[in-house]
A and B are shown apart, each in its own frame.
Chain A
Amino acid sequence: MLIVSSIITGLGLGSMYGLLALGFYITYSVSQTVNFAQGSSMMLGAVVCYSFAVTLGWPLTLAILVALLVCAMWGWVVERFVVRPFASRGSNAWLMATVAAGIVLENVVLFTYGKEPRSLPSPLAQEPILIGELGVYPLQLLIPIVGLAIACGLHIVSRRTKLGKAQLAVVQNPDAARLLGIDVRKAVVGAFIVSTVFAGIAGILIAPLFNVASDMGTLFGIKAFAVAIIGGIMSPWGVMIAGLAYGVVEALTTSILGSVYTHIVTFGLVIVVLAVMPNGLFGRAEVKKV
């Protein structure tokens, strides 16, 4: 029973990591850059949603839409002012710049929203459904569904549609893609916007199970990046599955060894996986022709 319920708990947690990690996949697959402010973007979604839904009393659906719009704008800001100025010069400084942007955002939220954690009520997190001995909120079942649906959608878009093929072209050779009439810049901006919107969705979904606070995304962001790397960042399925696996390992470690060992074991495993499989579980080695 302990094992079964840990797996259920772990899948719920893991799909949250996966959802957030998909954002890393999207930007990396298009521009070979990632937004390290992903954890903060998740927090932004939750905080804006809380502010409109609870503080201002707007209908929840409207609050969610506004929150996702704000996240989209944040994605644009990050790409335009934090990543592009460095990436276009071939510098890797966007790495630190996105981390800094996340910290700036957290502190702005700290000023405006306050530091006290608040609770975002959700009709989907009131009455647990019993699976065996373990109760699960409907919301916990919704999160993996949303995550898998997004991964599935991304797979279809990247393999089957013109848009996806254009994006793949951008990845393989931006200059050639440009010559073929593909707007590379738009593709990159689009990728950042989609990635922060995903983070926002993750934040809004997680908030009722957690507390809404300016620092709620920090640890999530780190774990999600670990998940993206393990999943071999270039595969949406890989990232989602790595997220689920990470969550299950985390819950199982806590159940079997005790909570003191959780981070030691999970992050230790991240190192082991990368040492054995440098391209992650589902990644392929990049082939560079000289």
Chain B
Amino acid sequence: MFTKNLISRRGLFATVAASFFALVMGSTVHAADPVKIGLVAALSGQSAKSGEAITRGLTAAMEEINAAGGVLGGRKIELIRRDDESNPAKGQIAARELIFKEKVAVLFGGLDSPVSLAIVPVVNKAKMPFMGVWAAATPITRNGANPNYVFRVSAVDAIVDRRLMQYAKKTYGTKKAGLMLINNPWGESNEKGLKAASKVENVEIVGIEKFEGKDVDVVPQLLRLKNAGADTLFLVANAAPGAQMMKSLGRMGWDVPVVSHWGISGGRFPELAGNMAEKVQFIQTYSFFGEQNERGKKLLKSLIAKHDDIKGPEDVIPPVGIANAYDAMHLVALAINKAGSTDGDAIRKALLSIENYDGLIKNYKKPFTDDNHDALNHNDYVMVRYYGKKIKPVN
């Protein structure tokens, strides 16, 4: 009786221990558990359109990956989004929540460079792979950390600035550049980039003006540039301040070419800038116009089928958000499979070891190396402008 009782007590203990073990382990390792992917981007505010586009690009890629059996032998990918409201502090909090509470395997970033710059130290400390798909500030990927967990499938300011200078010089014969930069870290990143580019391209910068996101009238800044003899304006700002600048320019009646970084394409620029919107030529990494590769055709078809507001290539706005996010998600899935786990360091190493991926924007060959965490380069940029509310390549 005594022995039997003891055994059953032991049995009871074993059962409790086993179920406790199962409970604990079950929450971390389970073959069918989805692999969580985090996104911290502007889902509201003046750049809300960017967050929506990134979501569409990521979702399109994820659906393809999940339909083909997911990653790590059958685990589906799941997207968890958080709104950073274009605010670095909020972005940092959201990133921490996704890393430590939601335990995402990879974190994606959004449009705002100041937000991404705030997240970079957090991910490098937490050994969390971070994939930028829009924010272009040079120091996001070139951040000095070793090992560096930050990767990007997007433009890089330093290269964009070079391309903008080249384009302006070729198209408008620019000799004297006037810079209109938003007064934040992204503006600063481009100030450096444009200065460096001007030296290489032999263009003189005759004035550098900063303006605030809430400035009503930037005529004084523009007048300074006009008086300094600027023959081309270089604009670096998001949609709302960019529109304020264009409205001021329109009021002055100063007919000067404006080339711009792509920040203006993240919001309702055509509505806010009115008839001045079409005067700006800006950069994108992809256009859904013209001859498309197989992926392009397929993606466009699925976007049209899925979203009521997309009827053709002109409605895929902003195209960069969708295209960059789409390719980046596929690259991340490749890396997760290559890593064989969701361990941050393993994924980082796997990203660096990807040899080839035939993507939407291009055929990526060794997209990431120890020295270069940016998958796109100056050959991957196209110049576009608004035609009404649609973004189409120039010419």
Taking Cβ atoms with an 8 Å cutoff, the residues of A that contact B are 1-2, 5-6, 9, 12-13, 16, 114-119, 121, 128, 130, 133-137, 206, 209-211, 213, 215-216, 218-219, 251-252, 254-255, 258-260
Contact = CB atoms under 8 A, between A and B. Distances in A.
Contacts of B243: 119, 211
B386 interface: no
Nearest to A130: B253
A169 B45 CA distance: 47
Interface string B326-366: 00000000000000000000000000000000000000000
13 contacts: A2-B227, A9-B217, A115-B44, A115-B45, A116-B46, A117-B268, A118-B268, A135-B250, A251-B217, A251-B219, A252-B220, A255-B223, A259-B211
B272 A119 contact: yes
Interface residues of B, number: 34
A259 B44 contact: no
Contact of B271 (A119, A213, A254): A119
Contacts of A260: 183, 210
Nearest 10 interchain pairs by C-beta: A254-B220, A255-B220, A115-B45, A135-B251, A115-B44, A135-B253, A117-B240, A128-B251, A9-B219, A119-B272
Contacts of B45: 115-116
Contacts of A209: 216-217, 247
B228 to A, nearest CB: 10
Interface string B212-255: 10101111110110010000000000011001100100111100
Given A2-B223, A116-B44, A134 B252 contact: yes
A5 B271 contact: no
Given A6-B223, A119-B271, A259 B253 contact: no
A51 to B, nearest CB: 15
B388 interface: no
Contact of B216 (A13, A121, A136, A218): A13
A119 B220 contact: no
Interface of B: 44-46, 48, 85, 183, 209-212, 214, 216-221, 223-224, 227, 239-240, 243-244, 247, 250-253, 267-268, 271-272, 274
B244 A211 contact: yes
B251 to A, nearest CB: 4
A58 to B, nearest CB: 19
A210 B244 contact: yes
A1 B211 CA distance: 21
B220 A135 contact: no
A117 B46 CA distance: 6
Nearest to A211: B240
A145 B274 CA distance: 26
A134 B251 CA distance: 7
A116 B217 contact: no
B46 A115 contact: yes
Which residue of A2, A9, A218, A251 has the most chain B CB atoms within 10 A of its CB atom? A9
A45 to B, nearest CB: 16
Contacts of A119: 243, 268, 271-272, 274
Contacts of A252: 220
A259 B271 CA distance: 26
